[in-house]
Structure 1
Amino acid sequence: MSPAFILKNGRIFDGRSFLSPGFSIVIRPPYILAITPHPPSHLPSIDLQGKVVAPGFIDLQVNGGGGKYTSLEPSEKSFHQIANAHLQKGTTSMLLTIITSAEDTRQKALSIMHSIMEKEQSLLAGAHLEGPFLNPSKKGAHHEPWLQPPTPALLKQISDEGGNVVKAITVSPELFTSANLDILLETGWILSAGHTTASFESAMSFFDHGGHMATHLFNTMPAITGREPGIVTAIFEHQGARAGIIADGHHVHPAAIRLAQKVMGDRLFLVSDATFLGQKDGEVHFGPTTFRMKDGICYNQEGKLAGSSISIGQAVQYCITKAGISDVDALRMATFTPASILKATDRIGRLRKGMLANMVILRENREVEKVYYEGELVE
């Protein structure tokens, strides 16, 4: 076990608000021992010189990073490479996302994640299945031949495969009957609406029936019009609906991010939807599809956006410096809110006694400077 130490003179964001000045964080890896104005004098201390210290970021939608992809040739080595690429940018807990894939790819990925999760404390929190129950007309960059209708037999099969590894699944509500939705609800997974043409009424019914959230708000869903308010308005209105949003400057206009945050408050959270974190410009071959990276933006052959190349840390920085979101709201969108969706606020997403010491130190421009994972500095 590593020795205890103190972080002092920082602006402490505890997951929901900034603490008053004068508090220090006492850490004995992997946990926070105390947050106190009177830390023990015998322990070594690190002076943060007024920088912000916040809980490590939580990303519920990670497709890839570091040149590896969850849904392409899954292996324990590649999954660790993805996780470490995001860890170095400040993400200390994540759901690896399996997009619509061949059956054997999905099964292999889930099996590998199960093996990793038996060893990890918090870095890999589970899987997010994005598909195969998506509307083909809103497929985005998903490979259409792999999309499937939600039959009871297939729903039961995937429920059994996912077990305790899957934490969230994205589905198109308009494809489901109440009975088929019940099959997924029995798993205890987070049911998220996405890649959908759902009407306002259909979406409200989905959330009333137990749907929990929406996947990448505004993207691959109909826009709001006067006579067709659609799923976006349902997400705004239904108090049980949470939504992830991609704040990379390409997927969603900053004014739309501001609007969503004003309407939804702490029901809105950040996701990276990252596939190509650290990827250089040029062609990227992803299974049967070829993507093109240009200026950090990825497009499929139809010219549609295909995932992002950002980290949650970069999304936080964008929200604060470009979208006009307050520090408190932007940081909460990356910490406490996603932790609460995972029902994991007893371990992650907050800074308080007994929590895992997952933390980020931010520069004045809100860029991630240092990352602590379970109390250890990430090199």
Structure 2
Amino acid sequence: MDYTVFTGARIFDGERFHEDSALVVGDGRVQAITSCNDRPEAAEHVELDGGVLSPGFIDAQVNGGGGRLLNEDPTPESMYVIADAHRRFGTTALLPTLITDVGSATTHAIEAAIEAVKGERGVVGLHLEGPHLSPARKGAHLPELMRPVEDSDVESFIRAREAIGTLLVTIAAEQVTPRQVQALNEGGVIVSLGHSDCSADEAEARFDAGARGVTHLFNAMSQLGHRTPGLVGAALDHPLAWCGIIADGHHVDPRALRIALRAKRGEGRLFFVTDAMPLVGSDANSFELNGRTVYRKTGDFCSKIVLADGTLAGADIDMASTIRYGVGMLELPLAEALRMATAYPARFLRLADRGHLSPGARADLVHINDGIEATATWIGSKPA
């Protein structure tokens, strides 16, 4: 076996840091974290200039990047362009995300994902955010395309999951029955509740049936009240519910996120998603979404993406910037901020060999400097 040894940086293994250590990889997999003195002699040596070597970032919600929007061109090529754009910022695994659209777009996105996951380009599945959402919490989605889940949809999702490997679907609790959630979960489909005006009881029934979490906590969902906890309250209280969060300074006030981080109980955790749009990795200042123009507007931490009426329409942030926001604004230790971009999304998505650097894990890696900027990435130990 040909080995590559990484030294010169602190090593974050998905849970904790290792000082003065070497990461040994071979055949695209992690072999060991060892002392620098015990590294294999006959190996390629990569000497890093300080900083941190971490598992590559994992993003469960990426609408676009590099000037491409999946809805506008649901093809394998677009998925690769999106993945390439986000890799510059440390993301080595992502789910291209299709928001509510006509049925043919969903079909094309599924077909594209089946092909795209075969390449070693960072596309590891597909996220379908709609059309089974609530018009009452539509956000930037088109309400006229929203509808309840039918049993034929359940069968189609399960077939798609079998062909793709990882399929995440965002569904409003009021658009799906607990029986359908159970069938989807048993078929390997990851169900996330979102764009929902449901009660806490409705949400809890679907978590108990197998819904795994919520999509962009706080945004486009029933809020936490002292007598009506809503989807936010149910998600924070249910021990098995994972919560994706958009941490960009626009979607959620940092005080609300800090409260949520302290409140979340059980195995489920908060994890970062970007909800990124095509402008990430692009110099453009606008794009088209379902026939509507979306604009980039200057913000304090990062730009925001809005429709003409001011409605937020995704985000203009990358994962490295999200981690910086977590450390700087959410008061997270760097280790926890990294877990929220690596280990936690990997567990949520059931990607057992990603998000950590235990022996046998994929050698998908990112090196970040002291400013939490990505300087290099590797996919399967190959420079990417």
Shorter-chain TM-score bucket reads: over 0.9
Match of residue 225 from structure 2? 225
d(CA) in 2 for partners of 1:49, 1:154: 51
Counterpart position of 2:368: 362
Residue type of the partner of 1:108? Answer: H
AA at the equivalent of 1:299:
V
Cα deviation, residue 241, structure 1? 0.4
After superposition, what is the alpha-carbon deviation per residue over 1:248-295, rounded to whole angstroms, capped at 9, x for unaligned?
A: 111112222222222227611110111131344543212322212222
Residue identity opposite 2:329 in structure 1: K
Q: Tell me if the contact between 1:152 and 1:183 (Cα under 8 Å) persists in the aligned partners.
A: no
Matched residues in 2 for 1:9 and 1:291: separation? Answer: 43
Structure 2 unmatched ranges of 5 or more: none
Q: Deviations over 1:41-66 (max 9, x none)?
A: 34343333431111000011111100
Q: For residues 32 and 160 of structure 1, what CA distance do their matches in structure 2 show?
A: 32
Task: For 1:14, give the aligned amino acid.
Answer: D
Cα gap change, 1:246 to 1:330, in 2 (>3 Å): same
> What is the rounded CA distance, in whole Å, between the counterparts of 2:284 and 2:226 in structure 1?
40
Check 1:149–1:302 CA distance in 2 against 1; reply closer, same or farther (3 A cut). Answer: farther
Pairing 1:337–2:340 present: no
User: For 1:319-377, what per-residue CA distance to the aligned partner results, in whole angstroms no more than 9, with x for missing partners?
Assistant: 112221111110001111111122222x2111132222111111112121221222122
Q: Which position in structure 1 is the counterpart of 2:257?
A: 257
1:235-314 equivalent positions in 2, closer than 5 A: 235-264=235-264, 267-276=269-278, 277-280=280-283, 282-295=285-298, 296-314=303-321
In the TM superposition, 1:136-147 aligns within 5 A as 136-147=135-146
Tell me, what secondary structure is at the counterpart of 2:331?
A: coil
What is the CA-CA distance between 1:13 and the residue it aligns to? 0.8
Letter in 1 for 2:224: I
Report the Cα offset of residue 158 of structure 1.
4.4
2:114 alignment partner in structure 1: 114
Number of the residue aligned with 1:130: 129
Aligned-pair CA distance for 1:182: 3.5
Task: Give the Cα separation in 2 of the matches to 1:197 and 1:297.
Answer: 25
Shift of 1:29: 5.0
Partner of 1:348: 354
SS in 1 for 2:313: coil
- 2:330 paired residue number: 323
Contact 2:88 2:374 in 1 (8 A): no
4+ residue segments displaced more than 4 Å: none
Indicate the residue corresponding to 1:4 in structure 2.
3
Q: Which residue of 1 aligns with 2:377?
A: 371
Aligned to 1:22: 20
Shift of 1:10: 1.7
Q: Find the residue that maps to 1:364 and give its secondary structure.
A: coil
Aligned to 1:164, the other structure's residue is in SS state helix
**In percent, how many aligned pairs have the same letter?**
34
Q: Which moved more, 1:242-251 or 1:283-292?
A: 283-292
CA contact under 8 A between 2:158 and 2:189: conserved in structure 1?
no
| Superimposed CA distance per residue, residues 131-179 of structure 1 (whole angstroms, 9 cap, x where no aligned partner) | 1110001011111221112232344344445543252111111222333
Q: Matched residues in 2 for 1:282 and 1:51: separation?
A: 32
Whole-Å Cα distance in 2 between the matches of residues 113 and 177 of structure 1? 27
For 1:86, the aligned partner's letter is H
Amino acid aligned to 2:277: T
8 Å CA contact retained: 1:362, 1:368: yes
CA contact (8 A) 2:147 2:175 kept: no
Distance 1:377 1:220 in 2: 38
Does structure 2 retain, via aligned residues, the 8 Å contact 1:138–1:221? yes
2: CA distance, partners of 1:334 / 1:368 = 13
Report the TM-score when normalising by structure 1: 0.93
SS of 2:250's equivalent? Answer: coil
Q: Structure 1: 5+ residue runs without aligned partners?
A: none
Q: Are residue 35 (structure 1) and residue 47 (structure 2) matched?
A: no
Q: How far did 1:183 drift?
A: 3.9
Whether contact under 8 Å (1:279, 1:309) holds in the other structure is no
> Does the 8 A contact of 1:52 with 1:363 survive in 2?
yes
Asked if 2 retains the 8 angstrom alpha-carbon contact of 1:110 and 1:162, the reply is no
Q: What is the alpha-carbon distance in structure 2 between the residues aligned to residue 230 and residue 308 of structure 1?
A: 24
CA 1:8–1:158 in 2, change beyond 3 Å: closer, same or farther?
closer
Q: Secondary structure at the match of 2:155?
A: helix
